[in-house]
């Protein structure tokens, strides 16, 4: 069967698009603690923000850049690393590695990303460069390459230090970049725990990300907490829609998670609406049956298909149908795909059927079910 493309739009979809209004946002995100925040979608469009360029303490979100620079080095994840013991302030989060421990590079990175071990972060840097200072220099070079204009790193872990700061907008950009380009990071930040050998014994380190257990579709990515406030860099995916958020300067441990969930819920509910693209009961066309020319077969979608779209935004689509002629029962007859921007909204596969079980309230044989887009425009 030869398939070919056509610029076609179903009558139902054409009418729905014409009547679909631009989204009028009736509310603001229910953020209660964050001094700064930003939320963007998978296309990088800013959906909401507050003081997005204000420079604040990123806390342990810093470790995402540490992981990016470490992975850029090309060092094997299976390399054995020898830990150097380093002194930290009493409240610092430590994985428990001691001088002379020999974890793999993978284990150091996981202990840093999942448990937020500050000792793991410094030893990641030492394993790559032999010097924390040189590694931090690479972090700042990478920040400049990514266009993070309000970001400057003074260490690998995010403990408060003079000249160590970032903005919500910069960190959202960093988080999106990390998840889209580093599969290791994307996998690690969704792990509930990791088991390593530290201090001569096997220890299980639990994730610091409480939201991963409670928020549907959460993809990570990093918590943070310093004297100036708690932070969270987050990402989620629902209905084929990806969102990236950052909240800085929250007052409480739970506040960063509550504000992140509020931002994401608001975006999914206020910026997107569900729309039906095609239904199994909508005939596409009628063809002659190959085994009996007098009998007709009806071409329909295999199933109902729809998705979440941004109201008022163009929906691109493409339809490919087989050449008209004799066809067999249950034959594949073509497919359609709908998208907004870079995101596919829905797709449908068409097959021939002997009859309709849910007949629409129109005379399908009297009206054309597809219209040429050029004719509609004229």
pLDDT of 364: 47
pLDDT value at 366 more than 60: no
**What is the phi-psi region of residue 213: left when phi exceeds 0, alpha when psi lies from -120 to 50, beta otherwise?**
alpha
* Together in a domain, 206 and 129: yes
Final residue in a domain of this structure, among 238, 254, 271: 271
| Bond into 154 cis (ω within 30) | no
Final residue in a domain of this structure, among 271, 296, 327: 271
| Residue 104 DSSP code | B
- The 10s digit of each residue's pLDDT in 214-251 is 999 999 999 999 999 999 999 999 888 999 999 999 99
Q: Is 66 exposed, middle or buried (0-12, 13-18, 19+ CB in 10 A)?
A: buried
In a domain, 143, yes or no: yes
Give the integer Cα–Cα distance in Å for 161 and 145. Answer: 23
Q: CB neighbours of 326 closer than 8 A, spacing ≥ 6?
A: 287, 288, 289, 290, 293
Contact at 8 Å (CB) between 110 and 198?
no
pLDDT band for position 90 (50/70/90)?
confident
* Together in a domain, 289 and 140: no
Give the integer Cα–Cα distance in Å for 70 and 91. Answer: 25
- DSSP notation for 275-336: EEEE-TTSEEEEEEETTEEEEEEEEEESS-EEEEE-TTS--EEEEEEEPSS-B-TT-EEEEE
In a domain, 126, yes or no: yes
Q: Which domain holds residue 335?
A: 3-21+275-377
pLDDT value at 47 more than 70: yes
In a domain, 30, yes or no: no
* Together in a domain, 241 and 319: no
- Which residue has better confidence, 90 or 121? 121
pLDDT of 313: 81
Q: Is the dihedral of CA 37, 43, 44, 47 positive or negative?
A: negative
pLDDT value at 132 more than 80: yes
In a domain, 31, yes or no: no
* Together in a domain, 244 and 349: no
pLDDT band for position 356 (50/70/90)?
low
In a domain, 27, yes or no: no
* Together in a domain, 109 and 217: yes
Q: CB neighbours of 365 closer than 8 A, spacing ≥ 6?
A: 286
pLDDT value at 373 more than 70: no
The secondary structure of the chain in percent helix, strand, coil, rounded to multiples of 5, reads: 30, 35, 40
* Together in a domain, 217 and 157: yes
pLDDT of 1: 27
Q: Is the dihedral of CA 134, 136, 140, 141 positive or negative?
A: positive
Joined together, the tokens standing for residue 368 give 């054309």
In a domain, 163, yes or no: yes
Q: Which residue has the tokens 């071990």?
A: 117
pLDDT band for position 355 (50/70/90)?
low
Q: Which of 61, 23, 92, 116 is nearest to 260 (CA)?
A: 61
Phi and psi torsions of 149, nearest 5°: -75, -20
Give the integer Cα–Cα distance in Å for 60 and 229. Answer: 11
Per the structure, the count of domains in the chain is 2
Give the integer Cα–Cα distance in Å for 230 and 224. Answer: 6
Give the integer Cα–Cα distance in Å for 189 and 66. Answer: 14
* Together in a domain, 237 and 325: no
Q: What is the dihedral of CA 34, 36, 40, 46, to 10 degrees?
A: 130
pLDDT of 263: 96
Which CATH number is 211's domain given?
A: 3.40.710.10
In a domain, 41, yes or no: yes
* Together in a domain, 243 and 356: no
* Together in a domain, 44 and 114: yes
Q: Whole-structure pTM over 0.85, yes or no?
A: no
* Together in a domain, 202 and 152: yes
pLDDT of 293: 56
Reported for 130-139, long-range contacts at CB under 8 A and 24+ positions apart, including other chains, are 132/156, 135/66, 135/69, 138/69, 138/72, 139/65, 139/66, 139/69
* Together in a domain, 284 and 257: no
In a domain, 26, yes or no: no
Q: Which of 36, 31, 33 is nearest to 150 (CA)?
A: 36
Residue 287 CB neighbour total at 10 angstroms: 19
- The 10s digit of each residue's pLDDT in 147-203 is 999 999 999 999 999 999 999 999 999 999 999 999 999 999 999 999 999 988 999
Final residue in a domain of this structure, among 232, 254, 271: 271
* Together in a domain, 162 and 208: yes
């Amino acid at each position: 069967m030869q398939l070919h493309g056509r610029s076609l739009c179903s009558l139902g979809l054409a009418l729905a698009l014409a009547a679909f209004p631009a989204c009028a946002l009736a509310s603001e995100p229910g953020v209660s603690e964050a001094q700064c925040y930003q939320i963007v979608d998978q296309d990088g469009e800013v959906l909401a923000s507050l003081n997005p360029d204000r420079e604040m303490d990123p806390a342990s979100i810093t470790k995402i850049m540490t992981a990016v620079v470490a992975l850029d080095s090309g060092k094997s994840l299976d390399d054995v690393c020898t830990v150097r013991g380093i002194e930290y302030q009493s409240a610092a989060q430590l994985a428990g590695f001691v001088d002379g421990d020999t974890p793999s590079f993978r284990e150091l990175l996981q202990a840093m990303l999942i448990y937020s071990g500050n000792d793991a972060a410094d030893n990641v840097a030492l394993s790559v460069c032999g010097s924390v200072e040189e590694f931090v220099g690479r972090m700042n070079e990478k920040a400049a390459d990514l266009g993070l204009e309000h970001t400057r790193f003074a260490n690998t872990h995010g403990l408060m230090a003079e000249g160590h700061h970032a903005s919500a907008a910069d960190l959202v950009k960093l988080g999106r970049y990390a998840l889209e380009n580093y599969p290791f990071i994307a996998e690690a930040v969704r792990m509930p725990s990791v088991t390593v050998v530290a201090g001569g014994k096997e220890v299980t380190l639990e994730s610091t990300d409480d939201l991963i257990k409670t928020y549907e579709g959460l993809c990570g990515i990093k918590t943070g907490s310093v004297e100036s406030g708690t932070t969270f860099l987050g990402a989620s995916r629902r209905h084929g829609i990806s969102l990236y958020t950052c909240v800085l300067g929250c007052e409480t441990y739970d506040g960063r998670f509550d504000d992140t969930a509020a931002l994401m819920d608001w975006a999914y509910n206020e910026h997107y609406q569900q729309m039906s693209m095609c239904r199994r009961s909508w005939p596409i066309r009628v063809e002659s049956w190959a085994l009996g020319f007098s009998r007709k077969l009806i071409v329909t979608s295999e199933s109902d298909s729809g998705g979440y779209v941004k109201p008022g935004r163009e929906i691109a689509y493409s339809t490919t149908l087989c050449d008209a002629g004799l066809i067999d029962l249950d034959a594949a007859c073509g497919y359609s795909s709908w998208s907004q921007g870079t995101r596919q909204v829905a797709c449908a596969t068409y097959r021939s059927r002997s009859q309709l079980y849910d007949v629409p309230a129109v005379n399908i044989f009297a009206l054309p079910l597809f219209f040429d887009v050029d004719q509609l425009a004229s």
